[in-house]
Amino acid sequence: MDFNQELQELRAQGLHRRLRRMDSASSRMVTVEGRPLLMCASNNYLGLADDPRLTRAAQEAVAEFGTGSSGSRLTTGNTQLHEKLERELAAFKDTEAALLFNTGYMANLAALSALTGTGDLILSDRLNHASLIDGARLSRAEVQVYAHCDLADLAQKLAGAQGKYRRILIATDGVFSMDGDIVPLPGICGLADAYGADVLVDDAHATGVLGANGAGTVDHFGLQGRVAVQMGTLSKALGAEGGYIAGSRSLIDFLINRARPFIFSTAQSPAVVGAARKALELVHAEPQRRQHVRQLADHLREKLAEAGFCVLPSETPILGVVIGAAEEAVQFAELLEAAGIFAPAIRPPTVPPGTSRIRLTLTALHTEADCAAILTAFQAARASLEQ
């Protein structure tokens, strides 16, 4: 099999990607292929990925339970660590139960493919994450895509679906990862109630960041008990790895028995679970982390907009700065890196053609001085491209 022609086409379109090697832990400053850079692209929102307290918790878990879990949760891989974390996640999300998965991607695939099927309808936001899109495809349910965060379009589709399906599930991101905007969840829940639908929210980029308790979009809007399926990750703000589904006890029992990504996957390693438990503890104990990163993001967003950059509206640590063409976004990212800023270009198919961007993400470890350095680098990159 020869893929050289297709690879050449990707290069010609500015869409070819390559792996970048990190030579240090994920933190405010990182070493990328031997060079120190200010990290502005990670999902390490609370700055916990290299926190020594998580490291110690992982080491303690390994010392007691070993390095590997040895099997699936339904055979030999279930430990008291897994069960404790699930109880803590359920309390965190204010649900009856929770279930761990190896990745957030697997959690979404599991939920959608297990909970819906032939004769059901999934209503999916146009900008949903790939894991929701792929899970919907695997489910064999009918899928209808509604305009991004458009309640009128969603209402029209719900009205047209009445009496035609066994089950209707509205699937949406809580925070959209490329734009940083927050789902209008109160309106979606109201429509779900009115038309007899259920709601699944992917809170990957909201967990630890949004809400009075850092529990995500349901917490942010005070909608406890209104969302049937809450998905989250341990690998972003919580600085560990994996995902989870939170909801009713019957939902979790059903997933244990029907979700193939859970049934046929080796359980997460003790180290990962131990680190995640400590991170969850710190989300409760140190609310100043999420407060700081959101304030810092608001500050940088304002400064970039004042400087004339096209910054997408958001209330989260994600700042999408639209550049335009894929090739120009790649050049812009290269100039930023030359100035000491690591923020790769985001291009199609991740974002629509013509909207390639620099996706900046801040963490609780960043400072106002860092924001000033980012702004200076952006202005210099723009000036260089305009010459």
Q: Are 180 and 314 in contact (CB under 8 A)?
A: yes
Q: What is the 3-state secondary structure (H, E, C) of 121-153?
A: EEEEECCCCHHHHHHHHHHCCEEEEECCCCHHH
Q: Is 177 a catalytic residue?
A: yes
d(CA 283, CA 215): 9
Helix (H) or strand (E) holding 277: helix 270-285
Q: Which of 124, 177, 265, 356 is catalytic?
A: 177
Distance of CA 76 to the CA centre of its chain: 29
Q: Which of 82, 93, 129, 236 is catalytic?
A: 236
DSSP letters for 35-72: EEEEE-S-S-TTS-TT-HHHHHHHHHHHHHH-S---SB
Q: Are 107 and 244 in contact (CB under 8 A)?
A: yes
Integer angstrom CA distances of residue 377 from 163, 335, 385: 56, 8, 12
Helix 288-306 vs helix 368-386: crossing angle, to nearest 10: 30
Helix (H) or strand (E) holding 306: helix 288-306
Cβ count near 92 (within 10 Å): 24
Q: Is 16 a catalytic residue?
A: no
d(CA 163, CA 121): 11
Q: Are 144 and 122 in contact (CB under 8 A)?
A: yes
Integer angstrom CA distances of residue 31 from 342, 344, 360: 10, 15, 18
Q: Is 278 a catalytic residue?
A: no
Buried b (16+ CB within 10 A) or exposed e, 295-322: ebbbebbebbeeeebebbebbbbbbbbb
d(CA 149, CA 365): 31
Integer angstrom CA distances of residue 176 from 85, 173, 222, 363: 26, 6, 19, 17
d(CA 352, CA 355): 6
Q: Which of 82, 205, 220, 366 is catalytic?
A: 205
Task: Give catalytic residue positions.
Answer: 177, 205, 236
